[in-house]
Amino acid sequence: MGHRYGITGAIGLVVVGLLLPQDTVQSRAMPAPVAHIAEASLDEIALAVEALPADQQARYLHWTARDIRFEGPWTPDRVALVLSVLDRFADALGEERFISLVDQAVAEGSDGQIVGLTLAMTSTDELWAASWAASQGRIKLYDQLFDQAHLDAHYGWRFLDDLAEAQPEPVSLQEAIIGHELGHLLLDALRDAHMAHGHADTRLEDAYRSAVCRGGWAHPMDNTNENVATEISLWVYGVDRSRQVLDYRTEVLTPALLSLADSSTPDVAP
């Protein structure tokens, strides 16, 4: 009982801090979506976190301290899955770089009205399993994400076999989808940096179109923005790709994500 109170109390402190008036939280912008979370939702999150092993509880508290919050009817296995995705992205980019890009994407998408990313479990009548709602500072994860029959019917991604062979460990379709939405967020965060170095804001998409034949795209029937968002996810997870994509990763994607790009690099024409 004492342990349960400790975790619930820690989560409560995080939420209370978010609900303080704007001038009492270091003059940071009020994270509006979080200010209206129902008490029942907070209880569900607390119970889900309490059911996790101690190391995962620590990871949850770590990410909430970095202004990455959970909202909605979470279960322990779903929290654990998302924590593992956040950790993989932090490992790949470096945590400070990752958080910097997350904060930038949320601030730009919400016109500075929201601080920090919210990961919201919710429902929809649409077919997709997740989405990045930039103006709300939220990645929305829908029930369909955990419905294998739905994924089998609507997410026939051509590289599914490659996920099972990823190094250092296999990647689930759920992990790849969450990573795809984080890929959208990172793409949004990088646009100003591209323009500051004299590139088009769609530099990563334009370079992908130029470097990779359409037959080698992750999603040949979709646009380059969707493709690059997925390529970011696959890069994070170490999923093998074609030689053209691997060259694109080395020459364009990795330097941009890690802030290693040479400002003198010319733009790539679409």
**Residue 269 CB neighbour total at 10 angstroms:** 9
Instruction: For residue 201, name the pLDDT band (cuts at 50, 70, 90).
Output: confident
- Please report, for residues 1, 141, 235, the alpha-carbon distance to residue 122 in angstroms, rounded to integers and kept in the order given: 30, 6, 27
Please state the rounded mean pLDDT for residues 194-204.
85
Q: Which domains does the chain have, with CATH numbers?
A: 68-257 (3.40.390)
Phi and psi at residue 132, to the nearest 5°: -105, 110
**For the segment 222-245, what is each residue's pLDDT rounded down to a tens digit?**
999 999 999 999 999 999 999 999
**For the segment 138-181, what is each residue's pLDDT rounded down to a tens digit?**
999 999 999 999 999 999 888 888 898 888 889 999 999 999 99
Residue type, 116: G
CA 26 to chain centre: 26
- pTM here is 0.82
Q: What is the pLDDT of residue 264?
A: 37
Residue 37's SS3 state is coil
Q: What is the pLDDT of residue 63?
A: 98
